[in-house]
Amino acid sequence: MTKKKVIFCDFDGTITEKDNIVSIMKEFGGNGWEETVKKVLGGEISIQEGVGKMFASVPSSKKEEIIRFVLTRSKLRGGFEDIIQYAKNENIEFYVVSGGIDFFVYPYLEDYISNDHVYCNGSDFTEETIKITWPNECDEHCENGCGCCKPSILRKWDSDEFYKIVIGDSITDVVAAKRADEVFARDFLIEKCRDLNISFTPFETFHDIIGHLEKKKEAVS
């Protein structure tokens, strides 16, 4: 039986050219966010703890300003619209799995992909500062404090039926890459894949990924 392809694509730094959380913190964050980022990347604290702590320094009143900031400042990576169309043409399910936050991820993607194909963290603006919520926490097989747990999401698709393709760039994609059948990587994820001996294909734009998938399809046809 031929497995059905399904794509799980990161958002920050992958669909967009830069990491939106870092950009938001540079513009709106309170003191100490840089140190929190270092601790997350160094594995000293979990992603969930780090993201929650960073946004807890941002006033809830900044919500609309942050949305406008992301929509106007964040540049879409080349070829994203094309890979969405390619996936439709090839009958490949395309999901966004993001450590980003719903209040800016959803509006950014609304012209490209429906919310039911987006997994990300949630948000609560009822208090003085932004509270992050975790609708996609780690399942019983993961204790990493991922926040939006990408490997837990991948486990929902039976490995005997689905060929899982992961596209990403950062620390949030490392454990997902371990569970993938195929990995497209850039930036920090390339380093970690090399360290962990995970097979990957580097990319700069989504056109690179489309080209690679087309070559593989031609090779087996």
What is the model's pLDDT at position 1? 58
What is the model's pLDDT at position 43? 85
pLDDT at 78 over 80: yes
Q: How far apart are CA 113 and CA 144, in angstroms?
A: 28
Higher-confidence residue: 51 or 216?
51
What is the model's pLDDT at position 219? 75
pLDDT band at 220 (very low <50, low <70, confident <90, very high): low
Walk me through the domains of the chain, giving residue ranges and CATH numbers.
4-17+76-219 (3.40.50.1000)
Is 0.95 surpassed by the pTM of this model? Answer: no
Residue 130, SS3? Answer: coil
pLDDT band at 9 (very low <50, low <70, confident <90, very high): very high
Per residue in 21-54, pLDDT (tens digit) is 999 999 999 889 999 989 988 889 998 999 999 9
Q: Provide the 10 A C-beta neighbour count for residue 30.
A: 14
Closest to 100 (Cα-Cα) out of 39, 169, 156: 169
Asked if 181 contacts 23 with a C-beta cutoff of 8 angstroms, the reply is: no
What is the model's pLDDT at position 142? 86
What is the arithmetic mean of pLDDT over 112-123?
Answer: 97
What is the arithmetic mean of pLDDT over 56-75?
Answer: 97
Average pLDDT of the chain is 94
What is the model's pLDDT at position 206? 98
Per residue in 164-192, pLDDT (tens digit) is 999 999 888 998 999 999 999 999 999 99
CA 82-117-4 angle, to 5 degrees, is 75
Closest to 68 (Cα-Cα) out of 116, 29, 20: 20
